[in-house]
Structure 1
Amino acid sequence: MKFTDLNLPELVQRGIADTGFTDCTPIQEKTLPLALSGKDVAGQAQTGTGKTAAFLISLFTRLLKNPTEGETRNPRALILAPTRELVVQIEKDAQALGAHCGFVIQAIYGGVDYMKQRSALKEGADVVVGTPGRLIDYLKQKVYSLKEIEVLVIDEADRMFDMGFIADLRFILRRLPPFDKRQNLMFSATLNQRVMELAYEFMNVPEKVAVTPEQMTAERVEQVLYHVGRKEKFPLLLGLLRKKGMERTMIFVNTKREAEFLDERLNANDFPCRVISGDVEQRKRMRILEDFKNGKLPIMIATDVASRGLHIDGVSHVINYDLPQDAEDYVHRIGRTARAGAEGKAISMADEDGAFHLEAIHEYIKDKIPVEWAEDDLFVHDFKRVKPKPKGHETRAKGPTRHGRKHPEGEKKEGEGEAKKRRRGPRKKPAGEKPKPE
C-alpha cells in the first residue's frame, strides 16, 4: 500500500512527501485504515518499523478534519513516551510530518529548560509530546489542562511498566476526557496481559493489531557471538575496534559503573568515547548524541536507557560488551544498527556471567546467535591499564576551604579535635583524683 492510496488531507500528504516516504510498512498498512476511520488501535511492532509515522499521520488527519472554533491554549493531542530520547525523536518526526499543518508541537521532558518549557506550554500547544513526570508537575501547577484532548497516544507501553511509570500514567489518564470522547492509540513491542489490561481499561474497544516478523531481529544485522573470559573481554574489544570500518560504534554495558570504567580505559588507549546513561544531565546527553550523529565522536558507550528511542543513521557496529539480562533488550540494542535499509553488525561477548542469559535470548529471538572463535592475534595485550575506582570512593577536592585557607598536609581542620572528643564522650578521671571545685 502506498500513502497516496489513503484518503489523507493534502497538508499531511505534503509532509509525507517531504520526508521521502512512499510505501507503507506492514504496521502502517494494518493500523492506518483503522485509525483513520476513528477506531482505537493497540498495535504490536518492534522498534524501527514505522509506528511513529503511523500514529502521527492518524493524529494530524483527525485534528485537521475536526477544526476547533476559536483559539484554545490547551493541547488537543497528547503523546506519552517513557524516555527523554524517545520524546525528542517523536517531536522531531512530528515537526517534519506536520510541517504544513500549522500545529504547535511542544516536547515536555525532564532535565532541561524547566521555565522555558513551562512558558511554552502556558502560551499554548496543539500537540504535546512528553514523559509522565514533568507533565504531571505542570498539571499540578495548573499550567495546562487535559480536558480538551482529542487524541491520546501511548508509545512503548511495555517500557512504561518496566520503568515504573504505570502509576504516573494512570494519574494522567484519569484526567482526560471520557475514553469514548477521544481516540486512543497504543503501541508496544509486546502486548502482554498487563499492557492489554491497560488498553481495555482506558481505551474504547481497541482493535488489536500485531506485526510479529518470523525473525525478531532486523534482517540486515549480521550477528556474531564470542565466548570469552571476563579478563579477556577488554583485550578482545581493543582488537575489534582496531579493525577497519568501526567508525561509528555503540557499546552496551549493564551498569553505569562498568560504563565509566570502560570509558576511562578506552580514552586512555586512544579511543575517544563518551558515556550516556540514565543519570547523565540532559544537556550533556543531547550534546553527546549530537556529536555521535555528526561523526565527531566515533564510539558511544551506553546502558539500556539508550537502546530504545534512538534513531541514529549510519551506526556500523553494536557491541554487547555485557549481554543484557533481559532478552528483549538484546533486540532493542542490536536494532540501533542496520536502520533504514542499511547493513550492520552486532557483536556480543559472553563471559562467565553473561553465558547464563544466552538461553533466554535464543528463545526470545527464535534463533541462535552464530558463534565465532577469536584468533590469538585479535587480542591486544599491550594496552595502558587504568585502576578502577573503589566502590563508593569519593575524592575530596583539593584547594582552599570555605574559610579561604588551605589545610597543610596532616593538619587538623578547625574544631576537628573537639568534635572527636564529643563523639568519644567525657574523659574518665584517674582513680583517686579529687573532683575540682566548681
Structure 2
Amino acid sequence: MPLRVCATPTNGPAMGSHFIRSQRTHRMTKTTPDSSDNTTLPDPISSFRELNLPAPLLKATDELGFSDCTEIQGLTLPVISSGKDVAAQAQTGTGKTAAFLLGSFARLLSNSGGERRKDQPRMLVIAPTRELAMQIKKDADSLGAYTDLKCSVVYGGIDYDKQRKELAEGVDVLIGTPGRLIDYFKQKVFDLAKLEIVVLDEADRMFDLGFIADIRFLLRRMPAPGERLSMLFSATLSHRVMELAYEHMDNPQEIKTESTGVTAEGVRQALYQPATDEKIPLLLGLLGSLKPERSIIFVNTKRAAEKIESYLLGNDIACGTLSGDVRQSKRQKILADFTAGKLPILIATDVAARGLHIDDVSHVFNYDLPQQAEDYVHRIGRTARAGTKGVAVSFACENYSFSLPEIQEYIGQSIPLEMITDELLIKPKPPKRIEHDRVSSGPGGKGGKPSKGGSRDRGRSNSSGGGSRSAAPGSRSRRSNSESTGKPAADSSKPVDQTQSKPAADNAAPAPAPTDGAPAGSKPPRKRRPATKKPAPDAAASPTEGSAVSATGATADPAAKPPRKRRRRRKPAAAGESANATSEGTPNSDKGSTDSTE
C-alpha cells in the first residue's frame, strides 16, 4: 500500500522524530504547531490517464510504454498538478525524473507564460553532475517530443560558445550544473526574473559536492517562493536538505515512499572480505564465474579506477572508465558504448553513481566499499531498476571495512557474507600500460608536465666544451650563429691547435679581437667569434684567451679561474679602445675584446 501524505504541520527544521516509516508521513512546513493550514492533499493515482495530462504528453507516454505510475509518480504528480511545492524522497531508479518532468510540462502547457524575453526561461532544472544533466535532457526530449517546449542543457567540459549561443536563441526549459549556470547567469546570457518552475534533483548530492552556495545564489535571483513552483527530489533527505527547502520553498509537502532508506527488493547482495592484494584476483574470478552481461565497478579513487582498467585490459576484458580526469567527449563516448552494449564493463567513481539511467545493468561491484551509507544505496541502485533483478557484490578490505556497520544499519539488514575459495582467486596477467588522455591541468602540457623536448640544458650540453652549468647559454649562441651563417661553429675544446695555426707574424704582438668592422678576409676570427662571447668555465676552453697568453708570453696561472673573471664584466668598449688596450698588453685585453664583440 503506497504511503499517503497528510497535512499535519510541524515546527522547524529539526524533524528527525517525525521521519517515521508508517502508512503516512508528515508534511514539512515553516509554520508553528498551531497553524490553521489543514489543506488536504490529492489522492495518489495509479495511471497517467487519471491525471488528465495534455494530449502531447499522453502520446509520448504511450510511445515510451508508460501506462502505470510508479509509487513516487503516483504520489507526486497530483501534488504538482495542484500547484503545491514538493520535497520528495524515493529510492533511486523509481522514476523521479519522469515525475517532475511530466508534472512541470503539464503546468507549462496549460499556461502561456505571459510576456517574456528570449533570455528568460520558464523552467530551470539543476543537477549536481554532467551525466545526470545529460540524462534529464534526454528524458525531457522524449517526454516533450510532441510539444513546442524547447529544452537546452549546459555543463562544463564541452564547447562554451556553442552552449552560450543556444541559450541566447531562447529556451523554455533550461537544465544544467550549478557552475556553468552561474557562469552564464553572471554574464547575463539568461535571466531568471520570469521563472515559473525550479527543480533541484539529487539535492543531497549538491551538499556532498559543495554546490550549496551556488544553489542559494541562483534561488535568490528567482521570483519569490510563493510566485513559482518549486520541487526538490532526492534519494535521501537529510535535515540540512530540508532546511534548504524551508528557506527557499513555499510550504513544501514532504513525500516518502515505502522503500525510503533501504535497497531495492530486486537486488541480491553479497559481501566478500579479501585482503588488499586479493581484490584484483577476486574480481577477475567473480567476473569469470558470474559472467555479467553488463556491470559497473565502483571505486573510491581515480587511481583505483586506472589500476582496475589496466588489469582488465591486460586480461583481455573490454572495459571503460569514468572519472574526473577523463575528457568530456571521451566520457560521452564511453557512456554511449556502454549503453549500447559495446562495452560490457564500466569502471566509475561516484561521479557516475547517481542519476545515470542505464537499462539492464545486471551486476554492480563495490571494489571499494563506500565511506557513506547513502552512497552504497545509490551505487547498487544502478541495477534492479524498474522492477528488474540484479546482483550487488561488495569488497570489504582492511582499508574500507570500517564503513560496513554504518551501511548495514542504514539499510536495515546485514549483507550476506560469502566465502573466498581458491577457485575465485585467479592469478592475473600483467596489467596493460595505458596512456590516459587526461584533462590539461597546467600550462606546460597535459597534466601540467613539461612540454615535449625535455630540459634545455640537457638537450644542448653536448655542444659545449666546458661544464654543464654555463654550457647552455654559450652553446645556444654558437648554434644560432652557425644556423645563420650556414657554417659550423668553432670547436672550443681545441684552442691550442687553433692558436698554432696562426701565422708567425700574428704572434709578434697580441691581435685585437675581431669586430663588426673587421676585414672580410679574417675568416678564422669570425669562426671563433661565437665561442668567445661566453667562454666555457674551463680555462682551456677559450681560444681567444689561450692565443692572447701565448702571444704576450705571459705565464698562465694554473690556479686561475676564468669564471671569476667573467663575473667582473665591464661595459662594452669601442673597437678602437679595445685595440689600444690589447696593444698595451694589459691582462684584461682579451676580456675587453670579448665584451666589445657583445
Structure 1 position 336, deviation (Å): 0.9
The within-5 A match list for 1:5-404 is 5-69=50-114, 72-73=117-118, 74-213=120-259, 216-243=262-289, 245-381=291-427, 383-384=429-430, 400=453
Give the residue type in structure 2 aligned to 1:261. Answer: K
2:236·2:260 contact (CA, 8 Å) conserved in 1?
Answer: no
1:44·1:212 contact (CA, 8 Å) conserved in 2?
Answer: no
> What number of residue pairs does the alignment pair up?
426
1:24-67: per-residue Cα shift (whole Å, max 9, x none)? 11111111111101111111112111111111111111111111
2:113·2:122 contact (CA, 8 Å) conserved in 1?
Answer: no
Give the residue type in structure 2 aligned to 1:127. Answer: V
1:313·1:340 contact (CA, 8 Å) conserved in 2?
Answer: no
2:337·2:343 contact (CA, 8 Å) conserved in 1?
Answer: yes
Taking a change above 3 Å as real, the CA distance of residues 418 and 166 of structure 1, as seen in their structure-2 partners, is: farther
Give the residue type in structure 1 aligned to 2:122. Answer: R
Return 5+ residue gaps in structure 1 as ranges: 422-430
Structure 1 position 71, deviation (Å): 6.7
Q: SS where residue 387 of structure 2 aligns?
A: coil
- Separation in 2, partners of 1:288, 1:59: 31
Taking a change above 3 Å as real, the CA distance of residues 148 and 71 of structure 1, as seen in their structure-2 partners, is: closer
- Separation in 1, partners of 2:325, 2:61: 36
Name the structure, 1 or 2, with higher relative contact order (CA <8 Å, separation 6+): 1
Q: SS where residue 386 of structure 2 aligns?
A: coil
Structure 1 position 192, deviation (Å): 1.6
Q: SS where residue 198 of structure 2 aligns?
A: strand
1:304-363: per-residue Cα shift (whole Å, max 9, x none)? 111101111111111111111111111111111112322211111111122211101101
1:235-256: per-residue Cα shift (whole Å, max 9, x none)? 1111111225323221111100
Taking a change above 3 Å as real, the CA distance of residues 348 and 419 of structure 1, as seen in their structure-2 partners, is: farther
Between 245-254 and 82-91, the greater mean CA deviation after superposition: 245-254
CA RMSD of aligned residues (A): 3.2
Structure 1 position 209, deviation (Å): 1.1
Is residue 469 of structure 2 the alignment partner of residue 417 of structure 1? Answer: yes
- Separation in 1, partners of 2:284, 2:266: 25
TM-score normalised by length of structure 1: 0.89
2:236·2:374 contact (CA, 8 Å) conserved in 1?
Answer: no
1:217·1:335 contact (CA, 8 Å) conserved in 2?
Answer: yes
Return 5+ residue gaps in structure 2 as ranges: 1-45, 436-446, 474-558, 571-598
Give the residue type in structure 1 aligned to 2:247. Answer: E
Query: Match for residue 426 of structure 1?
Result: none
1:245·1:316 contact (CA, 8 Å) conserved in 2?
Answer: no
- Separation in 1, partners of 2:204, 2:461: 55
Give the residue type in structure 2 aligned to 1:258. Answer: A
Percent identity between matched residues is: 53
Taking a change above 3 Å as real, the CA distance of residues 296 and 406 of structure 1, as seen in their structure-2 partners, is: farther
Structure 1 position 100, deviation (Å): 1.3
Taking a change above 3 Å as real, the CA distance of residues 409 and 45 of structure 1, as seen in their structure-2 partners, is: farther
Give the residue type in structure 2 aligned to 1:373. Answer: M
1:107·1:129 contact (CA, 8 Å) conserved in 2?
Answer: yes
- Separation in 1, partners of 2:125, 2:459: 55
1:347-395: per-residue Cα shift (whole Å, max 9, x none)? 1111112221110110111011111102211211253257999xxxx99
Q: SS where residue 289 of structure 2 aligns?
A: coil
